Structure 1
């Protein structure tokens, strides 16, 4: 075991030394602003389109999932059509996350052996990861748009989820083709161009349902993915990472056991959570067995990652940087759970408290979705906020306060609901994008893809867990509150007791058309039943906001204990598409690599290389 861990321990020591210096104590050398190659434009457009495609399928589908279930269902597991996309992001990213490993430096070459996140991209090149991801998205969209049942839709979205996971590399890919000081703007631009699908998505989705068919969500995604594929295939030719191992050796270095434990454990655990409170009770074996088994597999995965493998999916040395990495990952988990869950449950809350009109549901959802885009775009201003950890605290406070206020909403509070949703979404949008910028600056450039990948993986885990837990909470609370409230509102008005089960069943199944046919029903009873239904739904949503506000308090505390990244926002460019090499390593590591293998550098050149090498490692 000791010999197997030796390479990992050397890199761990290097990272601990970097962390001990602290990002705020670096001595920066002025860097001239680079001239960007023209290829940056079509590549940026391709990144924008690919990001829009996955936002289209995920956000639009989340808002109309109940309509899809009514069309090709019903199926009690219909929420898994969204959950499997999050699982795909969570599981695939640990393998696909690392975009590159820098060439040349002997110790850094061994990162290829230590960090399996980069193994597949080292094997095939990150350009092909984007193209393969788009191919998976195309196949998944084709399967989903032709689905005639919920299980087939889930299958299509499972394939789509693999492609969606690779789409997350866009956040790292677009970051490295622009200077550091514009990184916030670059990432914010990705958020901005997704406005038609992320911001206007719910309204667009309900218009599609009303006038076309939900399948057009996938038709649009297919068109966008094809255009993005062509642009990347023609214009995106980044450098191939230096590789001293064969493809077969690199594939052998991937921690497939860790991946299997992680994927199986997460999926089994989520099965138990999704069944709890709706299909089965929380205390039933059908819920407890998968939750316990899934949790045990995840614990086993953690033990294996730390002690059992030399190629961990989640490198432990990254998690030892509490301020730069671990705290940011935890903030990501806290923020992503309510955001990704609200995309599914906020339209449901609108429909059950305020209106059943499909177009109005879409309109009333816009304040939430538009504000998340608005908040993400505001992240472009992060370079002018000093220190950035205070900026993050402010974002977390905004999110926390208005998450709590959302729990006070009732059936007559439409205006307050729209205002609170906008401010809540702004806080979440600010927080979500800001942590991506901060975590990328908190590590060396050669780990840019790795940390972005783990961040996106955590986002996927959080979203999948959030949708399952929130769905179970709502179902459980509704099953507890609605029968009693409905009985108290209708039986005193003269509804026959024999008719009450029929009324309860129609309300639970949203069978509005069948209610007037119930024996003994009157207009007064229908109005009372509708009021009781709305009040029960309002009560059912409160606990999810209490949970979100509690997590928000944790996010506020963690945000304070993060790095100030202001010193890193300079003119440094990580990837020049013209030179096809990482520009910040171009004059250092290749020469050093050449020296190690051929031993014929002159002493003067060696001294220059060593000085530049010191600069590279000091500007981590």
Structure 2
């Protein structure tokens, strides 16, 4: 795939198009060559490269895989209650979603580094095969444990499916197209299968099976990057660090997901998993730093790049807003605004936050330059709008819908810029997979923590506001005291007192976002300017079957000068 240093989507211009040559920052020879050893100017590409079957087929594979990776979670999460009613009930229902997030976070950490070392083609093919198997298991699941097993495989496969879409700039626009049905309208589609089809919730997985099969074939037939000998990395690979890091991340995320939501924080197994996971992650970092490793899983030098680190934080906090809105807005619609309306009405209104994210990403994709200033502005505005949701209650549905869409749009704008800059600002482009997927793993980790905080705050506030406000209002309305407990059990039917109590709880949660948004706003002021790194060069090109070698130049007829495959390192994309 054509990974370019101009990893900002369409409309971005190269630095030499916006400033005289004399104004460009002068880079050393080593800086110019680092990770760009095989860069090819756009003018030197073979004729018709961007119209070739390899390029177009790979674009299709990337876009469809992205839809599969996103849909494996977003299509399923909104209808878990209906699935539980069909093949449950099971107290472990929440693990359907948690298993996806856990395995996806761990998978991202592994896929980036391993594909940098061993090449990407079979990682992407293998990831799609794994996701296909997961969808088959989920589609035929007779119970919730089987569904959890399916989502575990889907999450692992999604690590590769979501990986390339985040670091290849041509896919940024495809991402929006595939994201419309599988992110923007995911809730409505899930509801439609449940309420308006004969196959029910299993239809979601039938669609995902077909998509995964098609994307697997597209990867196999069209994606053919250059490759080289990779066996030497097997001997030097960081097996010990990988084991420690993976185990530590799994335990830490499990503990954070359990605490406050599924179990009280003081429960022994919650404390144990968090503490052991944290200790293992500390040991992992120390081992990667001082272990004198030839091929570490986590190159610590990445964290010496201040611009890269600064970029990850607002990116991750933006993702936390995405997940928070996915939880809070759908719940808010169902609790405060769905009275007297159909289930599909609630499903469509629940799509507003995800549609806002996509709209913002699309707008941000056309940002041409000075992305650091754009990030400062959009993150601040999005944060203010999100906190303003605290002013909404049962009587302000229109205000809530407008604010949630606009807040999500500005946060989406922030996400697309930071996710792009994260691929450009790294010092060594040979580690683009490692850097991007470690950032993605950190994004998932921070999102999990923030989402858990929002969920716990909402649960605790509802536990306070409903008993404090609803019984008094019911007694004043003439309801016998002996009937209050039964009424509270059925409170989802909706009463003014219940709406007031719920509105107060949601307001508290949206005010809680200020703490995380404040951190992101401060980091945004230090966002790096990457204008000087933008060009129209192509770092790595795709080739037809049997010609998987680098095109080093063009003779004017579109015939590149071949380079012996054995001279190519294994990090090429």
TM-score, normalised to structure 1, is 0.77
Partner of residue 498, structure 1: 482
Query: Does the alignment pair 1:131 with 2:138?
Result: no
2:74 paired residue among 54, 59, 63 = 59
Report the RMSD for the aligned CA atoms in angstroms: 3.0
Counterpart Cα distance in 2 of 1:30 and 1:580: 15
Partner of residue 502, structure 2: 537
Counterpart Cα distance in 2 of 1:271 and 1:117: 26
Q: CA deviation at 1:226?
A: 0.9
Summarize the alignment of residues 62-141 of structure 1 with structure 2, pairs less than 5 Å apart: 62-98=77-113, 118-119=116-117, 122=118, 125-141=119-135
1:554 paired residue among 489, 497, 519 = 519
Q: CA deviation at 1:298?
A: 2.6
Counterpart Cα distance in 1 of 2:473 and 2:356: 38
Range 487-496 or range 447-456, more displaced = 487-496
Q: CA deviation at 1:475?
A: 1.7
Deviations 1:482-520 (A, max 9, x none): 22222112233343333333222333xx5x5xxxxxxxx
Distance 1:214-1:341 versus aligned 2 partners, 3 A rule: farther
Counterpart Cα distance in 2 of 1:428 and 1:493: 43
Summarize the alignment of residues 463-542 of structure 1 with structure 2, pairs less than 5 Å apart: 463-507=447-491, 510=492, 530-542=495-507
1:572 paired residue among 537, 544, 547 = 537
Counterpart Cα distance in 2 of 1:333 and 1:584: 37
Query: Does the alignment pair 1:255 with 2:238?
Result: yes
Which of 1 and 2 has greater Rg?
Answer: 1
Unaligned runs of 5+ in 1: 1-22, 99-115, 176-182, 513-528, 596-620
Partner of residue 322, structure 1: 306
Query: SS of the counterpart of 1:498?
Result: helix
Select the structure with the greater relative contact order (CA < 8 A; seq sep ≥ 6): 2
Do the aligned partners of 1:189 and 1:377 also contact (CA within 8 Å) in 2? no
1:190 paired residue among 175, 178, 181 = 175
Counterpart Cα distance in 1 of 2:40 and 2:153: 46
Query: Does the alignment pair 1:156 with 2:154?
Result: no
Distance 1:591-1:130 versus aligned 2 partners, 3 A rule: closer
Query: Does the alignment pair 1:226 with 2:213?
Result: yes
TM-score, normalised to structure 2, is 0.83
Do the aligned partners of 2:311 and 2:422 also contact (CA within 8 Å) in 1? yes
Query: SS of the counterpart of 1:341?
Result: helix
Partner of residue 345, structure 1: 328
Range 282-291 or range 328-337, more displaced = 282-291
Counterpart Cα distance in 2 of 1:256 and 1:544: 42
| Higher helix residue share | 1
1:199 paired residue among 184, 187, 196 = 184
Counterpart Cα distance in 2 of 1:588 and 1:397: 49
Deviations 1:306-341 (A, max 9, x none): 234614322110110101x11112222211112123
Q: CA deviation at 1:58?
A: 1.4
Counterpart Cα distance in 2 of 1:351 and 1:594: 60
Query: SS of the counterpart of 1:458?
Result: helix
Q: CA deviation at 1:31?
A: 3.9
Deviations 1:98-146 (A, max 9, x none): 4xxxxxxxxxxxxxxxxx6634xx1xx4111111101110111111122
Do the aligned partners of 1:478 and 1:536 also contact (CA within 8 Å) in 2? yes
Do the aligned partners of 2:454 and 2:512 also contact (CA within 8 Å) in 1? no
Partner of residue 202, structure 2: 215
Query: SS of the counterpart of 1:381?
Result: coil
Do the aligned partners of 1:482 and 1:536 also contact (CA within 8 Å) in 2? yes
Do the aligned partners of 2:166 and 2:420 also contact (CA within 8 Å) in 1? no
Do the aligned partners of 2:98 and 2:257 also contact (CA within 8 Å) in 1? no
Query: Does the alignment pair 1:50 with 2:65?
Result: yes
Query: SS of the counterpart of 1:133?
Result: helix
Partner of residue 429, structure 1: 412
Deviations 1:146-184 (A, max 9, x none): 2233222211101111100111232256x2xxxxxxx3x
Q: CA deviation at 1:52?
A: 0.9
Do the aligned partners of 1:97 and 1:454 also contact (CA within 8 Å) in 2? yes
Q: CA deviation at 1:371?
A: 1.6
Query: SS of the counterpart of 1:576?
Result: coil
Do the aligned partners of 2:261 and 2:452 also contact (CA within 8 Å) in 1? no
Counterpart Cα distance in 1 of 2:256 and 2:475: 35
Counterpart Cα distance in 2 of 1:90 and 1:264: 12
Partner of residue 305, structure 1: 288
Query: SS of the counterpart of 1:412?
Result: coil
Counterpart Cα distance in 2 of 1:279 and 1:84: 14
Query: Does the alignment pair 1:363 with 2:348?
Result: yes
Size of the aligned set, in residue pairs, is: 518
1:379 paired residue among 348, 360, 364 = 364
Counterpart Cα distance in 2 of 1:589 and 1:558: 45
Q: CA deviation at 1:32?
A: 4.6
Distance 1:269-1:453 versus aligned 2 partners, 3 A rule: closer
Query: SS of the counterpart of 1:262?
Result: helix
Counterpart Cα distance in 1 of 2:248 and 2:94: 19
Summarize the alignment of residues 269-284 of structure 1 with structure 2, pairs less than 5 Å apart: 269-284=252-267
